Structure 1
Amino acid sequence: MRPHPTTSLLLLASLFGWAGLISGISFLEAPLKFTAPHITVPLGLGIGRIVFQALNKVELVLATVAVLSAWRLRVPGHVAATLCLLGAILLLQTFWLLPALDVRALALLAGRPAPPSSLHTTYIALEVVKLLTLLLTGSWAFRWMLRNAGTGFALPRLSQVRA
């Protein structure tokens, strides 16, 4: 059974959309937030907690769309392997790193200074790896789709994509 052309669009949109969200939130919004006038550390932490909890939920949805699309398309092994790496990073962040950072933020918001920790640096490093892996995976998937365009597999035309 030939996959519907929209599936390839879903895979690319989920990967590159996810990369865009990480770029915009993790590497632009988060550091710039604290340079805004009248933003205190407690206010910035409160906003950051809300934003990163929402980002994590969106990332879980995008990861699910990417994995299901890749499975349906039967992508090559190297694309599947990088999707597994992305999934591992996301699960590590979801179930260990974000909760640990949240505990630290809540302690700071309650007026209890948290002891020094490398959790924030670890989060940034994983975000860099995740962003580069998303861009690499999306590029590999796109090239694979282009190479297979002559075998009955094609990227959708805009007229084929249904709203």
Structure 2
Amino acid sequence: MAELAGGVTCLWLGMVLGISFLEAPLKFRAPGVTVPLGLGIGRIVFRALNRAEVVLAVLVAAGVALSDVRWPAYPAGAVAAVVLAVQLAVVRPPLNRRSDRVLAGEDVPRSRAHVVYVVLEAVKVLALVALGGLLLTGG
């Protein structure tokens, strides 16, 4: 069961890396992509990513709970889950309000919440790397 949870963890990690650290910044460099268009696409993509992350987090938690791996997989998994919860409950709402304003045509200053979200993504990536490694090696 630990190996399956490790595989799901790696899937989760790959999704976060691919979307948060590749797709999100690169879409604004594509010809013809305006800030409102990029934000609109980003909202849809991140809504889907976050829903998938919740499902994957539940699957990983179940896999960890049903496996013989306990320590330090529990704290690594807990960090990833708590970071995701903070992103969804605390950081995303102000980001959504800001993007609503930008999409409505307002001139809105940059948001510190975006920097917080990126830092939390980096923490989540580190937790997922640790968790995946622990689960796949039986450590």
What TM-score do you get using the length of structure 1 for normalisation?
0.81
Q: Gapped runs of 5+ residues in structure 1? A: 1-6, 146-163
User: Where does residue 81 of structure 2 map in the other structure?
Assistant: 87
Q: In the alignment, which residue of structure 2 is the partner of 1:54? A: 48
The farther-off stretch of 112-121 and 22-31 is 112-121
Q: What corresponds to 2:24 in structure 1?
A: 30
Q: For residues 58-77 of structure 1, what are the structure 2 equivalents within 5 Å? A: 58-77=52-71
C-alpha RMSD of the superposition: 1.3
- The structure having more radius of gyration, on CA atoms, is 1
Unaligned runs of 5+ in 2: none
Question: Structure 2: which amino acid aligns with 1:142?
Answer: L
Structure 1 CA distance for aligned equivalents of residues 8 and 51 of structure 2: 14
How far off its partner does 1:116 sit?
Answer: 4.1
Deviating above 4 A after TM superposition, structure 1's stretches of 4 or more consecutive aligned residues are none
Q: Is the contact made by 1:86 and 1:134 (CA closer than 8 Å) also made in structure 2?
A: yes
Aligned positions of 1:1-163 closer than 5 A: 7-144=1-138
Cα-to-partner distance string for 1:32-67 (whole Å, 9 max, x where unaligned)? 101111111110000000000000000000000000
Distance 2:85 2:123 in 1: 14
Corresponding residue number in structure 2 for 1:156: none
C-alpha displacement of 1:10: 2.6
Q: How many equivalent residue pairs? A: 139
Instruction: Give, in whole Å, the separation in 1 of the partners of 2:107 and 2:97.
Output: 11
Deviations for 1:55-87, whole angstroms, at most 9, x for unmatched residues? 000000000000001001142221001111111
